Amino acid sequence: MFVLPRNHFFLNEDKRRGMVDRQDWKALDTLYETANITQAAAKLFISQPSLTARIKRLEQRFNVPIIIRKRRGVLFTPEGKELVQYAKRMLKDEQALIEKIKNMRDEVAGTIRVGVSNFFALNKMPKILRLFKKRYPKVEFQVVTGWSSEMHRHLVNDDVHISFIKGNYPWKGIKEVLYEEEICVAAPWVFEWEELPELPRVDYLTDALMKGLVDDWWYRNYDQKPYINIEVNQVETCKEMVVNGLGYAILANLVVQTHPDLFIKPIQDEKGNLITRKTSMYYHRDVLNLNAVNAFITFIRELEVKKL
């Protein structure tokens, strides 16, 4: 007598509804992060119809609606949000397993997830990665950039192995200072301190710690608000505005040190000490058990990062 295998029904069910694979879960996670089909498809390097097909396959597999389309983006249903959380756990567990297996081979290989503050990402990270990959070609990187506060959050959430962060954030793991830089006023013309409230200032979006540091210095020295006539979203854009004579700015010395034509004065606290900001490498102690991450941290220690 012919007997059906125990999993015959489930195999047929999977064929009817469509097999779900890792890329479907990745598509779901990315769509949740962007809340926009066009942006998610671009981030995944697939077409919008392909992304839509993957979401549809998940909906058929679990027989629930996952997203609700809006004119601008998508909303996730309660069932969809539950599937997203499963996708995140599954993808993270899979990555941890891959790292563990590669580590068991006792070779420097695998993927290092790194969070990098904006200035460090633009001015330091490309050269660091090039030099490191020249020494360890089997290592790959997943890099996320943004404000230091965002990179701190990524680290706390275990989204990255290491974060390069500007400023002092609470952290129970390991924090290694890479360099310290002065906060200064940079202007395209000669100025006196008492003139600043009347002069045009270029301001830029930054994290709360930097903003608080600058605001504290300002209101300890001046009774009136600064005359901010230009606001931009990046410190590099701010620097270009200053270089082109549109106003002064208060920023880290490393941003403007390559422009000797600017007039730069460091700011000081009430005791006359220079106000500085440290850039540090933050990480959990247990990531040192991963060969690739351990090699990268050792490599960073050997570099004179400030001079890169």
Indicate the pLDDT class of residue 92, thresholds 50, 70 and 90. confident
Give the predicted TM-score (pTM) of the model. 0.68
**Percent share of the chain, pLDDT over 90:** 70
pLDDT average, residue stretch 218-237: 94
Separation CA 196–CA 217 (nearest Å)? 13
Task: Give the CA distances from residue 248 to residues 224, 256, 268, in Å, rounded to whole numbers and listed in that order.
Answer: 17, 11, 17
pLDDT average, residue stretch 221-239: 94
Retrieve residue 150's tokens: 């965002």
Higher-scoring residue by pLDDT: 202, 92: 202
List Cβ<8 Å contacts ≥24 apart for 25-29.
25/86, 25/87, 25/90, 25/91, 26/87, 26/91, 27/51, 27/54, 27/55, 28/54, 28/55, 28/58, 28/66, 28/80, 28/83, 28/84, 28/87, 29/84, 29/87, 29/88, 29/91
Residues of the chain with CATH 3.40.190.290: 181-277
Tell me what pLDDT residue 248 has. 97
Please give the CATH architecture assigned to the domain spanning 106-180+278-307. Answer: 3-Layer(aba) Sandwich (3.40)
Indicate the pLDDT class of residue 191, thresholds 50, 70 and 90. very high
Options 3.90.1410.10, 3.40.50.2300, 1.10.10.10, 2.60.40.740; CATH of 8-90:
1.10.10.10
Tell me what pLDDT residue 65 has. 93
Closest CA relative to residue 239, chosen from 149, 122, 152: 122
Separation CA 308–CA 229 (nearest Å)? 33
